[in-house]
Amino acid sequence: MAETAPAKEPIRASEIDPKFKYELTKMHGGEKLLKCFQCGTCTSDCPIARFSDTYRPRQIIRMAQLGLKNRVLNSDTLWLCAACFTCTDRCPQGVEVASVIRVLRNLAAENGCVPQVFKEQACCILESGYAYKIPELRVKKRETQGLPPLPKGNSESVRKTLKGVKFFETAEKKGEPSGQ
Ligand code: SF4
Ligand code: SF4
């Protein structure tokens, strides 16, 4: 997945949604968003930020505080979070950083802003029960090594879950978040 970090572009007043931060604070996990004072502890302790030039949880929190709804929801970097909760544990202000990121991802998904790679991964899980397509060669190699066949995924159960979270509707959506 290509990493995009649009936050370095100049901010235009027209792209600020002043209500966005309040919407986020009403969502479960986003309540303490406004307490962030940008100390950077979350970024310095984040295992993903350590290996990425663009992924900065502090920046995501700031974009959310500033109301840069389109930027943050369209940012591919939002999807790099590994949900390890280190940031949440270390934040001196009690901001639930990982949960804010989850809230933002959910909003992004509702607006159709899901990177193609994740949509493809979901399709693969639906088809096979596996997160990626296991090459036939590897399956055959297992046989020659005397290993048992791989268990079959329960795609019907996965389909029910995805239907429950309206995955199919959101996967079809494209474009920028509305409401600005
Ligand atoms: S650790 Fe907490 S207060 Fe510091 S930048 Fe991250 S979210 Fe903000
Ligand atoms: S939860 Fe996400 S943002 Fe927080 S430390 Fe882990 S990878 Fe980084």
Q: Report the nearest atom of ligand 2 relative to the CA of 60.
A: 3
Per-residue pLDDT at 39 exceeds 50: yes
The torsion angle over the Cα atoms of residues 19, 24, 26 and 30, rounded to 10 degrees, is: -150
Establish whether residue 64 lines the binding site of ligand 2, counting it when its CB lies within 6 angstroms of any ligand atom.
no
92-126: per-residue pLDDT in tens?
Answer: 999 999 999 999 999 998 888 888 888 888 888 88
Q: What is the CA(86)–ligand 2 centre distance, in A?
A: 6
Average pLDDT over residues 84-90: 97
What letter does residue 1 receive in the DSSP assignment? -
The better pLDDT of the pair 130, 68 is held by 68
Cα–Cα distance, 68 to 83 (Å, whole number): 22
Burial 110-120 (b: 16+ CB within 10 A, else e): bbbbbbeeebe
User: Which residues have C-beta atoms less than 6 Å from ligand 1?
Assistant: 36-42, 58, 61, 91, 93, 95, 97
157-166: per-residue pLDDT in tens?
Answer: 888 887 887 7
131-159: per-residue pLDDT in tens?
Answer: 888 899 999 999 999 999 888 888 888 88
- Contacting residues for 167 by C-beta, under 8 A, at least 6 apart: 122
Mutate to test the pocket of ligand 2, among 41, 87, 91 (most ligand atoms within 8 A of CB): 87
Quote the pTM value.
0.82
